[in-house]
Amino acid sequence: MTPIKAEIHSRMDGMTPAERKVARALLANYPSAGLASAASLAKTAGTSSPTVLRLVTRLGLAGYPEFQARLREEITLESRSPVHRAEHGEPDPAINAELNAFVLPRRELLERMVSMVPASEFDRLVKLLAAQPRAVLISGGYYSVNLAELLALQLDQIIPNVSLAREPFGRDSGKYLDLKKNAVVIIFDFRRHEMASTKVAQQAKQSGATVVVITDQELSPSAADADIVLPVPVDGIPFDSFIGLMVLVEAIVEATFRQTRDSGLKRMKNWEENIHAYRAFAATPHPEEES
């Protein structure tokens, strides 16, 4: 018996845009979403019940009852003992072999990242951030600045005094000139390593700030002046893969949030209130627009 999710994958190209919405909603919470009513699945997908039923028909099923019966049968098969699954299991036809060939190396990068990043260095950085330093200044390279910005944006919602320096020796140079002790400077520098990162690390070190360098396995020259170094494997073709870096950034943010506890949550709530207020203001038509 071919799993319904495999049928969905094989027929996706032939579906209408509305049917694809239903299919994606089902795959996002498979198979639970399909065990709800057709109306509920339609609501989740943002479509209509007739669209759900058309998709079921496209999958070669007589109706929604048969569709749900097939899903329950799949659950029963999957819940059998590991020995039974090993004896009778077949490769999942829903898995795209070509896509899987690209995903597996990234999974290996994540495993290498976990073993490569020193636990003590990671914990030290998180404790520094959770202590709410005088300033947290973050910069990045040509590509890595995008991940540096993500870290800055998310940390800023948890702790105060966080900022991104896109041009450390341009319009943001004053931020480094004002650095003092009890400040944290985080530098993203990946191969090909940039001279600006080394200069930023040297200047921050001279000011008494704690220097954190997040870099690749070959280590940026700026690591020589760093107090904390977090190396991340980035092997990829044709460009370096930032999957490990992305996960590391999320881990730093989540760990900092957990350590800040009430203060972090309070700051996030204040952020939400300000955003809601701004959106409400932006959504209110101006008098001349109403006339």
Q: What is the pLDDT along the chain (291 residues), one digit of tens a residue?
A: 788 988 888 888 889 989 988 988 888 788 899 999 999 999 988 999 999 999 999 999 999 999 999 999 988 877 664 555 555 555 566 667 778 778 888 888 898 888 888 888 999 999 999 999 999 999 999 889 999 999 999 999 999 999 999 999 899 999 998 888 899 999 999 988 899 999 999 999 999 999 999 999 888 899 989 999 998 998 888 888 899 999 999 999 999 999 998 999 999 999 888 876 666 655 566 555 554
Q: What is the pTM of this model?
A: 0.70
Give alpha helix (H) positions in 157-194: 173-177
Domains and CATH numbers, the chain: 4-88 (1.10.10.10), 118-276 (3.40.50.10490)
Q: Is 124:230 a contact under the CB 8 Å cutoff?
A: no
Residue 8 CB partners (closer than 8 Å, separation 6+)? 23, 26, 27, 59, 94
Q: How many CB atoms lie within 10 A of CB 112?
A: 16
Nearest to 140 by CA among 180, 179, 196: 196
Is the distance from CB of 8 to CB of 33 less than 8 angstroms?
A: no
